[in-house]
Amino acid sequence: MVRIVLKGLKETEEFGEKLGSILKPGDIISLTGDLGAGKTALTKSIGKGLGVEDYITSPTFTLINEYKGRINLYHFDVYRLEGSMDLYDLGFEEYIYSDGISIIEWGDKIEEALPKERINIRIEKGTELDERIIYIYGEGERFEQFIKELNID
């Protein structure tokens, strides 16, 4: 597990852009954290790193938003779903097994439906205003490669 402390919105944005710049087609990110922890803010920055020019918003009521960039971004918010069975009505598998990047907010709610090989990111509020603590964990070859490319000690 990698732990990163980000002090302020600027560091969070820079970190998200870096993530976006190293993501590869087919990568899946499960984002977790309390309400207001910064999941959508991080997704916006990741989108910027992917070359997305559209304004990224939370798909809380639409469940999924699609964005064009260097690699297509599929942004899910599954907070309101009752369970993973609701995903299949959305064509969920077509998205996550595509050549796009899938970012799933509240991914822990549907963990059993997600592929084992994914990048898990947990965001927590720090003790200082605008401070965020990021935990990155996962398994598999792509996760190991991602951590090396992230280049964090």
- What is the tens place of the pLDDT at every residue in 72-108? 999 999 888 776 667 777 788 899 999 999 999 999 9
* Digit-coded pLDDT (tens) for 38-56: 899 999 999 999 999 999 8
Residue range(s) defining the domain that contains residue 48: 2-126
**In the chain, how many domains are there?**
1
Type and span of the H or E element at 28? strand 28-33
In this structure, is residue 8 part of a structural domain? yes
The pair of structure tokens assigned to 12 is 């969070």
CATH code of the domain in which 78 resides? 3.40.50.300
Helix (H, G, I), strand (E, B) or coil at 61: coil
In this structure, is residue 21 part of a structural domain? yes
pTM of the predicted structure, to 2 decimals: 0.92
Taking the C-alpha atoms of residue 60 and residue 115, their distance in angstroms, rounded to an integer, is: 22
In this structure, is residue 50 part of a structural domain? yes
In this structure, is residue 102 part of a structural domain? yes
